[in-house]
């Protein structure tokens, strides 16, 4: 069975870096999502689904293993719909934010390995109280009803998993792009990574649009 990796392409909906999002912010959004998709494509044998907010322009080149579908709403309810569709086939599903161009691919491999080895839930915490990755091994209605928003700790989800006697795997902490401080941290992190990582995001952060994105 083929696992599903879901990329949430709605990063401008969360604590917008620019209000309203202008051309520079939209360029950043496009770069973040495109580079995050490339990270997901590093996982051989996985199906990649890009859940896209149709109100924000996103230009993606069609690819055989990438499906783009509209994100129906915001918050945990929309996430529950995505995960239910992915889990209906019987294979595990992992969802990540679309603002993770710097995410090491082995974090995704580790998440899928935990789920294949028997974990019911896998959780990747951010440096604040939210999450950058959530994964489920099977379709459990109680888990879908207790999903957290991106900036919330999944306490209710973890409690539900324990109540169902499902094991939980917790990955190392990572961070997404939630505000300008995160954007600066991302630029610093990328300077320490190989030049092949997050090429589009690097171009935005080092080009003429960088100052406009920062306001």
CATH number at residue 24: 3.90.550.10
Q: Which domain holds residue 32?
A: 4-207
Does any domain span residue 161? yes
What is the layout of strands, in order, in the sheet containing 66-70? 66-70, 47-52, 4-9, 93-97, 131-136, 119-125, 167-170
Write the DSSP assignment of 43-100 as a string of letters.
Answer: STT-EEEEEE-TTS-------TTEEEEE--SSHHHHHHHHHHHHHTTSS-EEEEES--
Pairing of strands 93-97, 131-136: antiparallel
Instruction: Give the per-residue pLDDT at 212.
Output: 47
Between residues 92 and 89, the one the model is more confident about: 92
Instruction: Please give the average per-residue pLDDT across 92-96, as a whole number.
Output: 97
The string of pLDDT tens digits covering residues 50-70 is 998 887 778 887 777 899 988
The string of pLDDT tens digits covering residues 7-47 is 998 865 444 455 555 677 888 889 999 999 999 999 999 99
Q: Which residues pair with 24 in a beta bridge?
A: none
187 Cβ neighbours under 8 A, 6+ residues apart: 205
Task: State the total domains in the chain.
Answer: 1
Instruction: Give the per-residue pLDDT at 35.
Output: 96
Does any domain span residue 120? yes
Distance CA 70, CA 47 (A): 16
Does any domain span residue 212? no
Does any domain span residue 214? no
Does any domain span residue 65? yes
Does any domain span residue 141? yes
Does any domain span residue 215? no
Instruction: Give the per-residue pLDDT at 16.
Output: 47
Global pTM value: 0.91
Which of 2-16, 89-103, 110-124, 143-157 shows the lowest per-residue confidence on average (mean pLDDT)? 2-16
Does any domain span residue 213? no
Average pLDDT across the chain, whole number: 88
């Amino acid at each position: 069975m083929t696992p599903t990796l879901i990329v949430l392409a709605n990063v401008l909906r969360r604590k917008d870096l620019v209000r309203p999002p202008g051309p520079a912010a939209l360029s950043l959004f496009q770069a973040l999502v495109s580079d995050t998709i490339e990270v997901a494509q590093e996982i051989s044998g996985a199906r990649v689904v890009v859940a896209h907010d149709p109100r924000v322009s996103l230009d993606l080149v069609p690819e055989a293993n990438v499906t783009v579908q509209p994100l129906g709403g915001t918050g945990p309810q929309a996430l529950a719909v995505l995960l239910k569709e992915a889990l209906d086939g019987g294979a595990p599903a992992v969802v990540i934010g679309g603002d993770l161009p710097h995410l090491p691919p082995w974090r995704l491999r580790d998440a899928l390995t935990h789920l294949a080895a028997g974990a019911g839930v896998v959780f990747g915490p951010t440096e604040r109280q939210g999450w950058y990755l959530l994964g489920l091994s099977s379709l459990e209605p109680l888990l879908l009803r207790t999903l957290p928003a991106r900036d919330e700790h999944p306490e209710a989800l973890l409690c539900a998993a324990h109540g169902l006697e499902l094991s939980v795997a917790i990955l190392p902490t990572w961070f997404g792009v939630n505000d300008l401080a995160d954007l600066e941290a991302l630029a610093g992190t990328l300077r320490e990574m190989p030049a092949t990582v997050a090429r589009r995001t690097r171009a935005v952060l080092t080009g003429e649009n960088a100052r406009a994105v920062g306001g």
